[in-house]
Structure 1
């Protein structure tokens, strides 16, 4: 007589919404082997609760630190750029220096959907990607500390760091999607706030190390610091759903949402906004010098932008969990435009520059947290859409803008015809850059127009 097989018992924890049950079922099907092919010891298991509990919060904290360590350093690049531009060994090819920061962020964003798709399709390699990517990050920092030309900095601090950062960071979205459903927007907001938290102290700390000991020591100190802080974060990063090696093979990645015009509407606005998003933090130190402020004023402004981004990310994430995503995006647009045209354009005094930095961080920094809110409109046509997949594609779009913005911003500064002729900051040599940043931020309004036209539900 054939042995009977006990059917699997799944305890999924508290149920928050109907979408939670649906998402749990989708993820369980994706990551676990079919029932009929499970061994007897695999057929009974329970899932820890989602949206709360010790394990969920530990994963969230781990993702927060991974975000802080991975993105905090590129977000402080403006301090390095200002330092590099004044070093004799890097004279003669200064045009490459702005491209280092934008290349780093661009590659990290570009790599997002690739890394996510690979780790989603072969989930057993998620932790491997996280660890291997971190090793590459450390190698890039050590390598950059031996650089003697701008091209070597671009290859190490720019390209190599970007590759390692993408492999290290983006698998975290898979873990986050397993642990949070009803509070997913808030969870993403908290994680993205990590970059702002690191960006508060890092520019000031690096400014001091750079001035006292030079960039070689600064890069090596950050490499050691990253090892100390990232090791426990990677240790506590674990999945909620079982991954069985007896699985039938690569898991399907849901891409049906690509047929929805709403996705392309939001993505187009995101790409254009990415052209100008990073420019204020990259040019803040050199801008401060251009308008006659003390060098420390630009560094403080970068720190204020980064820490304000932390606040803006959490608020925007909370907001899109409760209201339509276009409402959150429009608020971010309005606040960003006010900060740029009303405060940056007239920032010839330090207090005005600081006000701009805070407002820009809150409102422009909140844009990324609205990406999770795009899921709700997309679910109308693609119920199984995955937050992580959409977010990484949006990240790639932002990366495209970031890569283009490096050489483009340098050309805008070099060609600024308002230099010396305009009033306030508009005549500082950065007037065209200020105008360009404001215009690109306004492009996100396409989501609202799409809703009015009926393309966005």
Structure 2
């Protein structure tokens, strides 16, 4: 063999790998092979954890009880603000305008929902073990501060009842709703309906407690007694509410708001509808008692209108939820919102006597109560479970803005307590509710697979006809 041929053979031979390197490569490959099934097993366990939902049992229903009591305190006190508004306007804050006093109640709702964006993400990361106790302490402390407020010192009520109490209940609300997604899937709407029924119960009981206690023990001690009731409820909530799914234990400001949901048109439309509906939602709760007094309704009846509204909220949170589990959330949500539109414009607007005003309060409470349970139920149905808290919180951030400006806008429209200005207030609320109903209906169209397929088929056939026409014209 020539030297040239030997050189070719030498080049063609594979390069010899050192023994240590070869051993290292083999070990790496073996580690990868062994790690792959372990990783797959972990993913399988996580997926199984997400898919296996108790949908009942002692622990799950105890969580519903705790959530119901937390919402009794948080949203329940917000729903009961109409009783505080009447007392503030008539006795404690005589020098303040109706719009300014309603802003205090709006601040509660604003913080309740706006901080829901952050607290929802905190729930996804850390659960309820810290937020619930901290929110409980802040809520009770703020009510004690309300009881110390002095006459015509609006800033004291503003800071204690508006800001501090709003921050406290914001740490309670979103986690108490989102945790139900850990324990329920098929019966999620029912569980949320039962829990949010607690907020309606709070709106019934708290105004009655205040109405009975203020003449007997004075405003200060009446609020302190309410604070003790709140403390008892929240102790039970802290002991019964538990998370079930694995927590990320990691949170950054960048991920505090989940904007990924807005890529889904259903989520975007639901958020727009929520903004419109909740812009008008609390107007009857804040102004129905003042309207009844203006129309000459006896004080013994007018004082209980807020309680009637909230009492009818209790079945309104549960009954629509039962139908939503069976027929779909939007199938129930759209008719409920449509009926509220009719009640605002067709019943409250022309009402001039006790019978019609009571009928409106009862019927509006019966149907509008579904908003609070059906909105988070729908968001939960279209959101990944691991980001459920953040998605619900992001929607409530938008709702917060609506509620912050909603009732003060109503107060600005009610410059004078006369029929003309009340008509403007009612028409404003009705128009917003109609608009929200329309947007919800559009979300239903987008969600419908059959309609999407029909629309796609029609668009495709139109494009084909257009192409055929262009081809014919070119020929």
Q: Name the TM-score class by shorter chain.
A: 0.7 to 0.9
Deviations 1:196-254 (A, max 9, x none): 112222212211222333321221111111112221221111222356xxx78559887
Within the candidate set 36, 59, 73, 1:55 is matched to 59
Change (3 A) 1:454 1:138: closer
Within the candidate set 290, 296, 299, 1:292 is matched to 296
Within the candidate set 434, 442, 449, 1:449 is matched to 442
Q: CA RMSD in A?
A: 3.0
2:204 is matched with which residue? Answer: 200
Change (3 A) 1:377 1:195: closer
Change (3 A) 1:354 1:100: same
Instruction: Please say if 1:115 is aligned against 2:115.
Output: no
Within the candidate set 128, 131, 149, 1:129 is matched to 131
With 362-371 and 158-167 compared, the bigger mean Cα shift is at 362-371
Within the candidate set 329, 342, 350, 1:346 is matched to 350
Change (3 A) 1:27 1:150: farther
Matches within 5 A, 1:236-255: 236-241=240-245, 249-250=250-251
Q: TM-score, normalised by structure 1?
A: 0.81
SS of 1:367's equivalent in the other structure is helix
2:96 is matched with which residue? Answer: 93
2:393 is matched with which residue? Answer: 392
Within the candidate set 255, 266, 271, 1:262 is matched to 266
User: More helix per residue: 1 or 2?
Assistant: 2
CA distance in 1, matches of 2:48, 2:117: 20
1:155 is matched with which residue? Answer: 159
With 429-438 and 343-352 compared, the bigger mean Cα shift is at 343-352
Give unmatched runs, 5+ long, in structure 1: 11-20, 30-46, 420-426
Change (3 A) 1:249 1:79: closer
CA contact (8 A) 2:323 2:332 kept: yes
Equivalenced residues, count: 407
CA distance in 2, matches of 1:22, 1:175: 22
Give unmatched runs, 5+ long, in structure 2: 1-33, 453-475
With 261-270 and 135-144 compared, the bigger mean Cα shift is at 261-270
Change (3 A) 1:118 1:224: same
CA contact (8 A) 1:188 1:369 kept: yes
Change (3 A) 1:201 1:347: farther
SS of 1:206's equivalent in the other structure is helix
SS of 2:304's equivalent in the other structure is helix
Q: TM-score, normalised by structure 2?
A: 0.78
CA distance in 2, matches of 1:347, 1:184: 38
1:422 is matched with which residue? Answer: none
CA contact (8 A) 1:262 1:377 kept: no
CA distance in 2, matches of 1:186, 1:219: 33
Change (3 A) 1:403 1:22: farther
Within the candidate set 426, 440, 445, 1:434 is matched to 426
CA distance in 1, matches of 2:219, 2:44: 51
CA contact (8 A) 2:348 2:357 kept: yes
CA distance in 2, matches of 1:229, 1:376: 26
Shift of 1:281: 1.1
Shift of 1:384: 5.5
CA contact (8 A) 2:297 2:353 kept: yes
Shift of 1:184: 0.9
Matches within 5 A, 1:31-50: 50=54
With 206-215 and 145-154 compared, the bigger mean Cα shift is at 206-215
CA contact (8 A) 1:186 1:318 kept: yes
Deviations 1:356-392 (A, max 9, x none): 111111211112222244347736xxx5574433333
CA contact (8 A) 1:106 1:403 kept: yes
CA distance in 2, matches of 1:406, 1:230: 28
Deviations 1:88-142 (A, max 9, x none): x52222342111111111111111111111221233xx22110001100011101
CA distance in 1, matches of 2:374, 2:194: 12
CA distance in 2, matches of 1:371, 1:60: 18
Shift of 1:22: 9.8
CA distance in 2, matches of 1:61, 1:23: 29
CA distance in 2, matches of 1:395, 1:299: 30
SS of 2:55's equivalent in the other structure is coil
CA contact (8 A) 1:67 1:194 kept: yes
CA contact (8 A) 1:83 1:210 kept: no
Shift of 1:60: 0.7
SS of 2:303's equivalent in the other structure is helix
Change (3 A) 1:195 1:107: same
